[in-house]
Structure 1
Amino acid sequence: MLRVVQWATGGVGKAAIEAVLAHPELELVGCYVYSEDKSGKDVGEILGGAPLGVVATNDVEAILALDADAVVYAPLIPNAREVARILRSGKNVVTPVGWFYPSERDAKLARACVDGGVTLHGIGINPGGTTDVHPLVLSAMSSSVTFVRSEEFSDMRTYDAPDVLRSVMGFGGTPEQARESPMLGLLSGGFTQSARMCLDALGFAEAEIRTSHEIGVATGPIDSPLGVLEAGQVAAQRFVWDAVVGDRVVVRIAVNWLMGEENLESGWGFGAEGERYEIEIKGDPDTFVVIRGWQPTSVAEGLRRNPGIVATANHCVNSIPYVCAAGVGIKSGVDLPLVAGRAHPELARGD
């Protein structure tokens, strides 16, 4: 059994704990929390269930001293110094918040991996996964690839994080405030890495990555996790990252985040296809895939347990055995073998 620590217990962190508990090769042995209120509580209590016998702590030194094989690092904002300390303590790190495709600027973390004899792997759903690994897997069915697109269409009313929606993502304010929010910069850190992974793996020529940010406002009241959005307040956003070779877009990554479809200014909506993820490959032959199931069927369901958040956590947790078996260093999705989930316990073989 591989011994796992969960770092942070937000939506992804809680789902990751559930995934660790369900995985036949993993054992939860520790949990780091930032909150004084959560410190000292049984992790099962934090999840709203029965005790698990693992007590959460906000003592970093206690976590670093634990005998553990891996840490699922899932805070809202990544901290490279925290990650370096975890790596140097001899624990592999899997995270959905960065380091999807390493570059020279990650040299200090690469050194920390060597010092600890471990691996750092960034993966999740978007970025990491649908924006790089999945398009590359599908590209194996085509030759002479000319264009790759990964695009998300999601209803943000199902995202129960009002502080993040307002303060970080810029919803509920004015368009000017949304343009000045940190969201584009935060997102670009991950999505640019995904674009670079696709460019390099497919062998495209040197490309320039261009970004754009479109904003839509409410035309009438919209119920949301922020409360009621009024006319003129930001209720829809689209971010795009285009990798351009010459004058041709060869890789496009986009996210469309809307507070539903009613009372939005003209031009905003999911279209007949509804919420979804799309992956498109232009080549010989073309490929077009629509992914469903990673968005909830209703706002209420999403507020209870958002499947996109669960998928993000599962991708991290299912990667752990492969990361622990990998060579030392920062490993991207193209450096690991095929990562798979595990059968439900009722259907699993007995070894």
Structure 2
Amino acid sequence: MQRSAVRILSILLALIFSAPAMAEDMFVYFGSHGAGPHIGFSLAHFDTDTGKLTEPVFLEEAVAPAYFIIRSDGRRLYTCNSSPGSSVSAYAIDPNTAKLTFLNRQPSGGGDPSYVSLDPSGRYLMVANYLGGSAAVFALRSDGSIGKRTTFVQHIGASLDPKDPRHAHAHSIRFDPSHRFVLLADLGVDKIFVYRLNPKTGALTQNDPPFASVAPGSGPRHTAFDPQGRYVYVINQTANSVTRFGWDSNHGVITQFETVSTLPNGFEGSNMGAEILMHPSGKFLYATNRGHDSVAVFSVQSETGRLTPIQYVSTQGKTPRNADFDPTGKWLLVSNQDSNNAVVFRIDQSTGQLTKNGDPVEVPAPFCERFLPARK
């Protein structure tokens, strides 16, 4: 009798551990850019096994939400509200339903803020202001709402390209993987600035050396690091290219290595680079093109970080601005601002190539998207 019981238990355990992992239901937030009824944030579901995305349901009105992020514990959402809002906003996330509760809003310190990020401790919110070329840092209160501004940085100057004498336009601000330095890409002055954040005061101070430059008129927009923090990749909005830099995390020094196009040979239309994402494996890099309306896929050489273009895939819409990986790294979600839709791509884990998964899903004027695990 005892032997039979042990045998049955062994069979049950074997069945449990040999069974395939259950698909996880994820929440997905979309931010719709604009103002008016039913414009703001919406919520969809995503199946990590099949890659199926449901049509999003309206959640919360907001004025011109642009780039937004979710705190690592999944309990707070922060967004920059571009013109006419020119502010940063905080929301609480219900852990069971993913519904949003507005906490507060603060002026961003400049016009048309384009990017927000958190410091590693979660105590400070950083924002890049596109118009006027500035950045600001805000202390966060214990409830996650946005408190006082702790520092303000103003960039001065214009592009060195006489054909395009833009003013400073700060476009992204984020920490490096070592959590020692803050990188601020300024599209207008063709520089990637390097700062240090004082964890006690929230003040930004320039590093020495204070910046690295790209070719005049390139327009550096967003940055991405390889998983080991050896290289930083910058997508250049105006030049439609990606520049690879070596990254010294001990001293905050950027060394330029190469620049490659995000567009296929022979393309002659107008285009602007937008988002850049490094796959969690570190093997592949993805960049979105607004105009060519595609995702450029690159393989990443493991020893040198060198990029090789391997695919240009249509985003099934117009003006793909931002994109995001699901937490499994098997899927890439891309939203198309001017065709009001979002599309899911399956990522080949061996080659990095993308395959469209299902039909595009309707989303009004999507600017940004973020995954959040559904709470069981």
Q: TM-score, normalised by structure 1?
A: 0.33
| Bigger RCO (CA 8 Å, 6+ sep) | 1
Q: TM-score, normalised by structure 2?
A: 0.32
Bigger fraction of residues in helix: 1
Bigger fraction of residues in strand: 2
